[in-house]
Structure 1
Amino acid sequence: MTMLVAERKQQVPELPSVQFTLDNLHQRQRSIMDKDQVTRRVIQYLSEKLKGSKEPSLTSAEYEVVGSSAENLVTCKADDWDILLILGAPYTPAYFKSSYDAHGRHYLKWNGTKWKGSRPRFVDISNQLCPAHLRTAINTCVKSALEGANISGLTVKKVLMWKQAVRTIIKDSMNSSKFTVDIIPQIRGDKWSKVEGVAAFNSLHPEIQSAITNLEAAGKSAILFSLFAAPATAPILFTTSYALLEREFFSKNENLRNILLLAKMILTGHRWKDKYGLKSAHLKRIVLANISTLSHHSPYSGMQLLLSLVVRQLREGSLDGFLDLHSDLMWHKTEEECELLAQTVADVLTTLDPTFFPNYL
């Protein structure tokens, strides 16, 4: 189906097959949330265990549940639980200022404020914070705290150190259920108005502004920095994360959430992440950049438009990394690779029949 047709199909009542699919996805979400105490128990355990850590930033760390389960965006029973581990001092805006280069890539520079009489660890001679060294130290402590742990009836079976997270495989001793929990170290950003390289606050949709304001009023930041950068980039670079902002926004916006649910279901069903690197996180960014347009659509027509926007951008050789300025989520792909992915998504749109939507479940 062409983009123009997708854009005209506004506010059409959902077919029974589409509504059945949404109802099923909502039920999966409720089932996942019934098990949410898994993350709560892990957070409580880690918080107590790491209070005596040799890494001071872990003794005062904060924890947030994010990702699909927290955003009501579960489409698969295997969806993981994500826990942000937000480091405390000295890795906070009180000691580091964020900056960005011409390609929208961020780095953190020590502002000269001493931590207990000296410069913070993992700062190089240019006063740049090295994310890889900090990540290794933090992940090693988290891994050591979790290995072989028994957490209120949960047994940690395996702990894996990934670049972006410490992945923990947990078994419930009561019913043999298995869970995958990712602990993702992050550095809290400053207030939106003080961070370079992000879209100007006044240019954002009012609903995004509201989400940012709510987070900052609660003492949180809508901008976080993950302790890694894209492959083949400078070792001092960080990746921005908007996980808290996305949770605040999508958990409260049912219509856009349903649009994203359907699009994510198709993405997962066709294995576009494994085959082409197209992720649900990319779809979230496209939604946030097109709230005004998508808000006028029903879930099915909105899903069509969302995927059509993906096709349109890919055919131009990029994928907008909004909320970051000058950011291309497909920077690592050639124009030919972008065109191939665009054609793949367009082919699915052309043949999509809502009658058979339940087959994706």
Structure 2
Amino acid sequence: MASRDEAVVREIIGHLNQATRVVTQHKQVVIKFTDEVSRYLANVSSGSLTGAHIRHSGSAYENLEVSSDADFDLILELGQPFAGSNLEVTGVRVGSFVHYKLKARELPKDPSQAIFFRRDGFLKSEELRMDAFTRFHDILRRVNLPNVSLQHFRKLSAMQVNLQSRGQKLELDVTPQIVAPAWNDCPGLVPMSSLPQCLQRYIINNERNRSPVFYFTPAIPEKERVLDWQVSLMLGFSLLEKHFLQNEVNIHDMVRLAKLVKDRLDWSKKYGFKSFHLKRLAIKHANTLRPLSTWNGFKTIIQLLLSYLTNNGVEDCFVQQHVIYSPQALKVNFLGELQQISLMGPDSVKSLALRH
């Protein structure tokens, strides 16, 4: 029976890979866009976008897509003085949420950058984010791609860019991010030794090469804001998630099956449950998932979700004692759906794959 389950799983993955081929074609349009944006960024000589550049992250670059209309996530990585080597980090826990604040080791001499720091050295994250949006908006107005139309608007933490090419709409989220300092210089993180080996090696190598490991996002959700939210930031770990999924091939497929169910059953819209919740859960329980077959690993992910939601919610794998998902008002409905999924066989999941 187990071998048949895995055979059906391979059929599902094969079907999803048809979407991968389409998304790969879409990536060529995104590359043209990022190349054009990078050309303008290279000429910025003052203000919040000096030294900024684009990095790719998210599901489309992790081969987690489950449909051909996958979105693209882009990191607008800010340059000095908005980078970890120039910043000291403090963290304050408010309930289950950790607010981070950054303080300059040395205030910038350039007035166009110094305005984003208070007299006490703390970064004014809200002002920095809004200025980065304004300047990026000006760049987007000048971008001109043959046979591609472009629209854009601001969201909380990202600028959404819609590209229309040959009748196909591509959605890009471009998020200003600040490179974080070394892992052990950021309070509140789990011990590096508790992470999967592939991430431990990645962190050590990147820190040695002075390459980014994780980021601060200069935005705070309204429900989490406190009095000093204008200088508070969130942590972003998209590079670590991407590296983990590239190295843990079998766990990657487990997460992809779970994402298939999530997307087909519209859990993001109904329950606010996102792909990154699945990725963080898989990283946290990598040792449990690694020896399992793809199908049994998928079922284990569903069981873990059931267990977490029955208790306090999904805990983060990177920040200590941090609950990243706990939908109290929607818990009963979500639990009911998860219980149904836990009883499904691979043929039922295959039917979900064929639905789109």
Tell me the TM-score normalized by structure 1: 0.88
Deviates more, 1:41-50 or 1:30-39: 30-39
Q: 1:273 is matched with which residue? A: 268
Q: Among residues 341, 344, 351, which one is paired with 1:359 in the alignment?
A: 351
Say if 1:306 and 1:55 are closer, same or farther in 2 by CA, change over 3 A. Answer: farther
Once the two structures are TM-superposed, the CA of residue 12 in structure 1 deviates from its matched residue by: 5.2
Q: Among residues 5, 11, 30, which one is paired with 1:14 in the alignment?
A: 5
SS in 2 for 1:101: strand
SS in 2 for 1:105: strand
Q: Which string of whole-angstrom CA distances, capped at 9 and with x for unpartnered residues, describes residues 167-209 of structure 1? A: 111123xx33332222111000012122111111122221221
Q: Among residues 158, 168, 176, which one is paired with 2:151 in the alignment?
A: 158
Say if 1:170 and 1:42 are closer, same or farther in 2 by CA, change over 3 A. Answer: same
Q: CA RMSD in A?
A: 2.2
Once the two structures are TM-superposed, the CA of residue 165 in structure 1 deviates from its matched residue by: 1.0
Q: 1:324 is matched with which residue? A: 319
Query: 1:68 and 2:62 equivalent?
Result: no
Say if 1:126 and 1:316 are closer, same or farther in 2 by CA, change over 3 A. Answer: farther
Once the two structures are TM-superposed, the CA of residue 55 in structure 1 deviates from its matched residue by: 4.5
Query: 1:141 and 2:132 equivalent?
Result: no
Q: Does the 8 Å CA contact 2:199/2:243 hold for their aligned counterparts?
A: no
Q: Among residues 12, 17, 23, which one is paired with 1:32 in the alignment?
A: 23
Matches within 5 A, 1:116-195: 116=109, 120-147=114-141, 149-151=143-145, 153-172=146-165, 175-195=166-186
Say if 1:262 and 1:247 are closer, same or farther in 2 by CA, change over 3 A. Answer: same
Amino acid at match of 2:87: F
Q: 1:97 is matched with which residue? A: 88
Gaps in structure 2 of 5+ consecutive residues:
none
Once the two structures are TM-superposed, the CA of residue 217 in structure 1 deviates from its matched residue by: 4.4
Amino acid at match of 1:167: Q
Say if 1:154 and 1:294 are closer, same or farther in 2 by CA, change over 3 A. Answer: farther
SS in 1 for 2:321: coil
Partner Cα distance (2:176, 2:147) in 1 = 22
Q: Does the 8 Å CA contact 1:104/1:324 hold for their aligned counterparts?
A: no
SS in 1 for 2:74: strand
Of Structure 1 and Structure 2, the greater helix share is in 2
Q: Which string of whole-angstrom CA distances, capped at 9 and with x for unpartnered residues, describes residues 17-46 of structure 1? A: 322111111232233123322222222211
Q: Which string of whole-angstrom CA distances, capped at 9 and with x for unpartnered residues, describes residues 118-162 of structure 1? A: 6832223553323221111101111121136312x2533311111
Partner Cα distance (1:47, 1:184) in 2 = 15
Q: 2:100 is matched with which residue? A: 107
Q: Does the 8 Å CA contact 1:148/1:155 hold for their aligned counterparts?
A: no
Once the two structures are TM-superposed, the CA of residue 90 in structure 1 deviates from its matched residue by: 1.3
SS in 2 for 1:215: helix
Q: Among residues 207, 211, 218, which one is paired with 1:216 in the alignment?
A: 207
Once the two structures are TM-superposed, the CA of residue 106 in structure 1 deviates from its matched residue by: 3.3
Partner Cα distance (1:122, 1:205) in 2 = 37
Q: Which string of whole-angstrom CA distances, capped at 9 and with x for unpartnered residues, describes residues 265-292 of structure 1? A: 0011111111111111101110000000
Query: 1:349 and 2:339 equivalent?
Result: no
Q: Does the 8 Å CA contact 1:148/1:156 hold for their aligned counterparts?
A: no
Gaps in structure 1 of 5+ consecutive residues:
1-8
Q: Which string of whole-angstrom CA distances, capped at 9 and with x for unpartnered residues, describes residues 210-262 of structure 1? A: 23234334532221111211223131321111111111121222101100000
Partner Cα distance (2:206, 2:295) in 1 = 30
Tell me the TM-score normalized by structure 2: 0.89
Partner Cα distance (1:329, 1:134) in 2 = 25
Q: Number of residue pairs matched?
A: 346
Partner Cα distance (2:188, 2:114) in 1 = 24
Partner Cα distance (2:168, 2:267) in 1 = 28
SS in 1 for 2:325: coil
Partner Cα distance (2:302, 2:125) in 1 = 34
Partner Cα distance (1:190, 1:338) in 2 = 37
Query: 1:293 and 2:288 equivalent?
Result: yes
Q: 1:5 is matched with which residue? A: none
Partner Cα distance (1:199, 1:12) in 2 = 37
Q: 1:304 is matched with which residue? A: 299
Amino acid at match of 2:13: L
Q: Does the 8 Å CA contact 1:211/1:249 hold for their aligned counterparts?
A: no
Once the two structures are TM-superposed, the CA of residue 164 in structure 1 deviates from its matched residue by: 1.6
